[in-house]
A and B are shown apart, each in its own frame.
Chain A
Amino acid sequence: MNMLVMLGFALVAAMGTAVVFTGEPERQAVTLSAYGLSLTVLFILVQAPDVALSQVAVGTAVVPLMVMLAVRKVRGRRE
């Protein structure tokens, strides 16, 4: 079990780095959503199901809608 928690932490750290070093907002939104899913697995590993549930809701439903709609709005106004 300890090994699994360490593996989860490593995956979350790697994904956080990948999100930070992504340039374009559209690509960053997709990677951010994947980062949320890796965070969900970590929360289940440390036995926090409620936090994992809210992270699922934020990572898979709010990020695509809010971030992508905001990116489109900003891009439309700039042109």
Chain B
Amino acid sequence: MTQWTVAAMVLMGGGLAPALWLASRGTAVCRLIGLQLVSSVSVLVLLVLVQAIGQPSYLIVPLVLALLSFAGTLVFARLLRSAP
């Protein structure tokens, strides 16, 4: 039970869970805000988790996630804008 494990647990229980709750309620734009919050919090969770596991080669996953969530959220924002 290192400090990294405790930090990962705090970030998952107190950060990821409310963000996921936000992403599953309300209108599509409300959910989009929740999705953006989920992606930035999950990058942080993954960074801390990789440090807790102690396998630095896993670090490619948060890097790709930060890169692709940018594109994905932009696509969602563009496609939801023109919808009624």
Do A and B come into direct contact in the complex, CB within 8 Å? yes
Which applies to chain B's interface (DSSP): helix, strand, loop or mixed?
helix
Residues of B within 8 A of A (CB): 5, 8-9, 12-13, 16-17, 20, 23-24, 27-28, 31-32, 34-35, 38-39, 42, 45-46, 49-50, 52-53, 55, 57-58, 60-61, 64-65, 68-69, 71-73, 75-76, 79-80, 83
Known contacts A41-B45, A41-B46; decide if A57 and B68 are in contact (CB<8 Å). yes
Q: Specify the chain B residue showing the minimal Cβ separation from A8.
A: B12
Given contact pairs A4-B8, A11-B20, A49-B55, a sample of 5 additional A-B residue pairs in the complex whose CB atoms are under 8 Å apart: A8-B12, A27-B27, A27-B28, A31-B24, A44-B49
Please encode chain A, from 27 to 56, with 1 for each CB lying within 8 Å of some chain B CB and 0 for all others: 101110110011011001101010011001
A31–B61 touching, CB < 8 Å: no
